């Protein structure tokens, strides 16, 4: 099938939320520390004044001082690093519009030394190429800002346009080959310090900020990351709670007699080469869909493990589904009823057997499922008695709410979405059980996908520096 040509580029809408303001403040901080003498009090005052223009509430929000410290350290660390060559740069905010960029507040703060070259490269991607990343440019390159050496922008963009013309317009090349070539070129530019994409994360208390190269390494003979070790943290058993309980006037799922909610969570440690890390995964609802969020577990300056202040990232839904299928050979949504449809008899039978299988294989990974109660009554997992199974009982409650009835005078809340989330969590648990000797690869893959780090040379996430 011929690859479709790119549609006319549309102006990117400027964010007006807190994240957008924080990213712009970071751009301005790096600009100030690279171009001005920050030992002078007047420049420090001027920088804070620019932050206030961009983020008017910075002095009044609860964590405003922490963010000021984050911006300050981001600027200091980058200006003192080997990545700053002393060249004159233009400054790009990843979400800035390609039109009228100099009308934005961050632009005036950097004396209108702005660029949109990376956004323009993304706009060269045609429909099929964008589909590789779920049509989200952050899934191609998770940078929040970038620097471009003065005068280099037109040359870089000309090269990308020529490549697109030769690869896509004239030869109908595989989109992956096009993106891979773009990524290689960007890596070369980073090493020459001509274009520097930067991902920014909030500073964790008592933890020093550092810079890490991402997606810039050379692959070995295998073409894949070499996992030395990966395991669940011994003191923190993976958990997903299947009890149906009352929360106020609503029916929901969670820990029986505790505060645990609807998430499936686990803590893991892994080592790749000389690189060691710990992380937390939370598989939870995001609207009507599910989301796998990842946070680094880091050592603070006192040697204590703490959760990073910033989320490492979330695994893109298509890639998460592909990962689960790789280990279960099952579609993530298979036999999960639609949100507005009750379970069929076939689906009930399927999930009765599925849950039994998960329980019988609990020895393969340590799990805390906290029982299968419905408002305090334990239900069997299989129909060995005349009693309803847990699946049958919960599906019955779900069907009642869908038909307009109530259960125990409780409001439905998010019960429909939560029930379907529980089924998907069972599939994720089964994926880890079936991984067996490949569990380390599974654990590392989840982290790398969330961090937009390439697992093999076939992966297509773009290169960037992470300041975190």
User: Could you report the per-residue pLDDT of 333-377, keeping only the tens digit for each?
Assistant: 899 999 889 999 999 999 999 988 888 887 787 778 878 888 989
- For the segment 53-80, the average pLDDT, to the nearest whole number, is 92
Query: Worst-scoring range by mean pLDDT, 7-16, 230-239, 305-314?
Result: 7-16
Q: Which residues contact 422 (CB under 8 A, 6 or more apart)?
A: 240, 242, 253, 262
pLDDT at 308 over 80: no
CA distance 159 to 161: 6
Nearest CA among 323, 343, 321 for reference residue 332? 321
Q: What's the confidence (pLDDT) of residue 1?
A: 24
Q: What's the confidence (pLDDT) of residue 59?
A: 94
pLDDT at 79 over 80: yes
pLDDT at 10 over 80: no
Q: What's the confidence (pLDDT) of residue 155?
A: 95
- For the segment 185-193, the average pLDDT, to the nearest whole number, is 91
Query: Worst-scoring range by mean pLDDT, 78-92, 110-124, 258-272?
Result: 258-272
CA distance 241 to 255: 5
Nearest CA among 156, 165, 241 for reference residue 5? 165
130 torsion bin: left (phi>0), alpha (psi -120 to 50), beta (else): alpha
CA distance 239 to 369: 6
Count of CA atoms in the C-beta half-sphere (13 A) of 121? 29
Domain boundaries, the chain: 18-215+458-467, 227-450
Q: What's the confidence (pLDDT) of residue 161?
A: 93
pLDDT tens digit sequence for 116-139 = 999 999 999 999 999 888 888 888
Task: Please tell me what DSSP assigns to residue 102.
Answer: G
- For the segment 179-200, the average pLDDT, to the nearest whole number, is 91
Query: Worst-scoring range by mean pLDDT, 93-102, 200-209, 298-307, 397-406?
Result: 298-307
392 pLDDT tier (thresholds 50, 70, 90): very high
Q: What's the confidence (pLDDT) of residue 283?
A: 72
Entry pTM: 0.69
How far does Cα 417 stand from its chain's mean position?
21
258 pLDDT tier (thresholds 50, 70, 90): low
- For the segment 164-190, the average pLDDT, to the nearest whole number, is 86
Beta bridge partners of 284: 291
Query: Worst-scoring range by mean pLDDT, 124-138, 325-339, 390-404, 447-461?
Result: 447-461
CA distance 111 to 296: 36
pLDDT at 437 over 80: no
Q: What's the confidence (pLDDT) of residue 425?
A: 86
For 133-152, letters b (16+ CB in 10 Å) and e give: beeebbbbbbbbbbbbbeeb
Handedness of CA 237, 243, 246, 247 (dihedral sign): positive
Please tell me which residue, 289 or 176, carries the higher pLDDT value.
176
- For the segment 95-124, the average pLDDT, to the nearest whole number, is 85
Q: What's the confidence (pLDDT) of residue 346?
A: 95
Strands (E), 339-444: 373-374, 377-378
Q: Round the average pLDDT of the chain to a whole number and report it.
A: 81
327 pLDDT tier (thresholds 50, 70, 90): confident
CA distance 118 to 110: 18
Q: What's the confidence (pLDDT) of residue 9?
A: 36
pLDDT at 6 over 60: no
Other Cβ atoms closer than 10 A to 376: 11
CA distance 54 to 318: 35
Q: What's the confidence (pLDDT) of residue 304?
A: 46
Cβ(199)–Cβ(466) under 8 Å?
A: yes
Q: Is 284 exposed, middle or buried (0-12, 13-18, 19+ CB in 10 A)?
A: middle
CA–CA–CA angle 367, 268, 336 (5° rounding): 50
Query: Worst-scoring range by mean pLDDT, 250-259, 382-391, 453-462?
Result: 382-391
CA distance 420 to 319: 19
């Amino acid at each position: 099938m011929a690859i479709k040509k790119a549609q006319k580029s549309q102006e990117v809408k400027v964010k007006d939320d807190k994240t957008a303001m924080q990213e712009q403040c970071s751009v301005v901080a790096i600009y100030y520390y690279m171009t001005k003498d920050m030992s002078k009090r007047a420049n420090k005052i001027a920088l804070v004044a620019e932050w206030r223009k961009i983020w008017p509430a910075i002095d009044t929000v609860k964590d405003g001082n922490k963010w000021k410290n984050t911006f300050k350290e981001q600027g200091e660390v980058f200006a003192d690093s080997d990545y700053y060559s002393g060249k004159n740069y233009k400054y790009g905010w990843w979400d800035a519009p390609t039109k009228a960029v100099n009308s934005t507040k961050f632009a005036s703060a950097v004396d209108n030394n702005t660029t949109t070259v990376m956004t323009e490269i993304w706009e060269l991607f045609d429909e099929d190429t964008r589909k590789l990343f779920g049509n989200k440019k952050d899934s191609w390159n998770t940078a929040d800002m970038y620097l471009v050496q003065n005068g280099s922008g037109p040359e870089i963009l000309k090269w990308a346009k020529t490549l697109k013309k030769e690869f896509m317009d004239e030869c109908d090349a595989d989109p992956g080959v096009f993106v891979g070539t773009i990524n290689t070129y960007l890596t070369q530019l980073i090493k020459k310090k001509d274009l520097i994409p930067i991902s920014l994360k909030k500073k964790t208390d008592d933890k020093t900020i550092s810079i890490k190269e991402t997606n810039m390494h050379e692959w070995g003979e295998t073409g894949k990351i070499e996992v030395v070790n990966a395991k669940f943290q011994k003191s923190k058993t993976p958990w997903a709670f299947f009890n149906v309980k009352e929360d106020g006037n609503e029916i929901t799922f969670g820990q029986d007699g505790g505060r645990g909610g609807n998430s499936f969570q686990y803590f893991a440690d892994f080592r790749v080469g000389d690189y060691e890390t710990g992380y937390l995964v939370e598989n939870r609802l995001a609207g009507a869909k599910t989301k796998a969020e990842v946070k680094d577990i880091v050592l603070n300056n006192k040697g204590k493990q703490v959760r990073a202040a910033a989320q490492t990232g979330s695994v893109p839904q298509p890639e998460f589904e592909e990962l689960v299928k790789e280990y279960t050979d099952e579609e993530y949504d298979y036999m999960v009823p639609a949100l507005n449809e009750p379970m069929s008899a076939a689906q009930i039978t399927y999930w009765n057997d599925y849950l039994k299988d998960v329980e019988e294989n609990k020895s393969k990974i340590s799990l805390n499922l906290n029982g299968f109660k419905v408002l305090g009554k334990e239900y069997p997992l299989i129909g060995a008695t005349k009693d309803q199974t847990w699946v049958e009982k919960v599906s019955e409650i779900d069907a009642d709410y869908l038909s307009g009835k109530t259960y125990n005078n409780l409001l439905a809340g998010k019960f429909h979405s939560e029930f379907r989330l529980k089924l998907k969590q069972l599939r994720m648990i089964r994926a880890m059980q079936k991984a067996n000797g490949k569990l380390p690869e599974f654990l590392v893959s989840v982290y790398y996908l969330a961090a937009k780090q390439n697992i093999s040379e076939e992966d297509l996430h773009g290169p960037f520096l992470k300041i975190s």
